[in-house]
């Protein structure tokens, strides 16, 4: 029992050291990295594509896309005109620091202000594996239900912001916004929270304003 716990701790410790090296590389090239996490179907790629579209004239953006097997999402990122690198995790359900350290040299970080990382769609373990990002964002969505903070507390504790996507679908689902927010607030008090719709664009102005403040403050520091 004790032994298996220490093995897990060692794996996470090794991961954290590499995550720290990733962060140093990003900082030495002044590149602000945002890690987007979500369950499958939350609309992660749609949110990311809309974010890139809105910010690509303001910042030099690059992308890393983690996927279990396909390159579809990296291709969609690249179609926006930004340099994008695919990490094929070979079945692993999260990105880890080693995978990201292998992808970083494939981007010219000196010529980027911002790096957008799309993690593998999964609410269980991506939050346990730090990758060196400056900002970790969780994308939840209305159809997933208002009980998700209560079911996946670790994920909600480990992020700097929550986007609640697909708010255009609120009329069709029995989603209690107060219950959801109460769950988020209990786990992560004061967390930045933005209800959005990647389909209609609703809520994006507020979210993008906040995101630009984070990036500007980093780049200006
Ligand atoms: Mg840079
Ligand atoms: Zn995993």
- Express each pLDDT in 54-107 by its tens digit: 999 999 999 999 988 777 888 899 999 999 999 999 889 999 999 999 999 999
110 CA to middle of ligand 1, Å? Answer: 4
**How many A from CA of 168 to the centre of ligand 1?**
36
SS (H, E, C) the chain: CHHHHHHHHHHHHHHHHHHHHHHHHHHHCCCEEEEEEECCCCCHHHHHHHHHHHHCCCCCEEEEEEECCCCHHHHHHHHCCCCEEEEECCCCCCCCHHHHHHHHHHCCHHHCCEEEEECCCCCCCHHHCCCCCCEEEEEEEHHHCCCHHHHCHHHHHCCCEEEEECHHHHHHCCCCHHHHHHHHHHHCCCCEEEECCCCCCCCHHHHHHHHHHHHHHHHHC
Q: What is the pLDDT of residue 2?
A: 55
Band of residue 146 on the pLDDT scale cut at 50, 70, 90: very high
Q: Residue 7: pLDDT band by 50, 70, 90 thresholds?
A: confident
Taking a 5 Å cut-off on Cβ, the residues next to ion ligand 1 are 29-31, 109, 112
| Contact criterion met (CB below 8 Å) for 33 and 135 | yes
Could you tell me if 113 and 216 are in contact, meaning their C-beta atoms sit under 8 angstroms apart? no
Ligand nearest to the backbone CA of 155: 2
**Span from the CA of 203 to the centroid of ligand 2 (angstroms):** 30
Please report the pLDDT score of residue 3 as a whole number.
60
CB 34 within 8 A of CB 116: yes
Average pLDDT over residues 13-42: 96
**% of residues, the chain, pLDDT over 90:** 87
* Nearest ligand (C-alpha, residue 32): 1
Say how many Å lie between the CA of residue 219 and the centre of ligand 2: 31
What is the mean predicted confidence (pLDDT) over 104-124? 96
Tokens of 148: 């998700």
Calculate mean pLDDT across residues 172-182. Answer: 97
As a whole number, mean pLDDT of residues 174-182 equals 97
Average pLDDT on 27-54 reads 96
| pLDDT for res 73 | 81
Q: Are 119 and 35 in contact (CB under 8 A)?
A: yes
Res 142: pLDDT:
98
Question: Which ligand has an atom closest to residue 28 CA?
Answer: 1
Question: What are the structural domains of the chain?
Answer: 3-220 (3.40.50.300)
Query: Among positive and negative, which fits the CA dihedral 26, 29, 34, 35?
Result: negative
How far is it, in rounded angstroms, from Cα 86 to Cα 174? 37
pLDDT at 1 over 70: no
d(CA 55, CA 50): 9
Report how far apart the first and last C-alpha atoms of the chain are (Å, whole number).
46
Instruction: Compare 208 and 5 and report the one with higher pLDDT.
Output: 208
Q: For residue 15, what pLDDT is reported? A: 94
Tell me the average pLDDT of the chain. Answer: 94
Mean pLDDT within 4-8: 74
Instruction: Round to whole Å and give the CA distance between 93 and 162.
Output: 21
Q: How far apart are CA 94 and CA 96, in angstroms?
A: 6
Q: What is the pLDDT of residue 6?
A: 79
Ligand 1: distance of its center to the CA of 22 in Å? 13
Q: Please give the distance, rounded to the nearest whole angstrom, from the Cα atom of residue 61 to the centre of ligand 1.
A: 9
- Give yes or no for residue 195 having a pLDDT over 90: yes
pLDDT at 12: 78
Q: Which of 161, 93, 99 is nearest to 121 (CA)?
A: 93
**Measured in angstroms, how far is the CA atom of residue 175 from the centroid of ligand 1?**
40
């Amino acid at each position: 029992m004790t032994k298996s716990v220490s093995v897990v701790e060692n794996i996470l410790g090794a991961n954290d050291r590499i995550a720290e090296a990733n962060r140093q590389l990003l900082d030495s090239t002044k590149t602000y990295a945002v890690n987007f996490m979500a369950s499958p179907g939350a609309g992660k790629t749609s949110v990311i594509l809309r974010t890139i579209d809105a910010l690509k004239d303001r910042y030099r953006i690059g992308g890393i896309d983690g996927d279990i097997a396909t390159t579809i999402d990296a291709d969609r990122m690249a179609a926006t005109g930004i340099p994008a690198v695919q990490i094929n995790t070979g079945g692993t359900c999260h990105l880890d620091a080693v995978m990201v350290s292998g992808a970083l040299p494939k981007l010219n970080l000196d010529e980027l202000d911002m790096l957008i990382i799309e993690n593998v769609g999964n609410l269980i373990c991506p939050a346990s594996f730090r990758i060196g990002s400056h900002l970790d964002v969780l994308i939840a969505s209305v159809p997933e239900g208002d009980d998700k903070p209560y079911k996946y507390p670790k994920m909600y504790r480990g992020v700097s912001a929550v986007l609640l996507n697909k708010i255009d679908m609120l009329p069709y689902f029995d989603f209690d916004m107060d219950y959801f927010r109460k769950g988020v607030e209990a786990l992560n008090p004061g967390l930045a929270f933005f209800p959005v719709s990647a389909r209609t664009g609703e809520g994006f102005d507020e979210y993008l304003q906040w995101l630009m403040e984070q990036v500007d403050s980093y780049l200006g520091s």
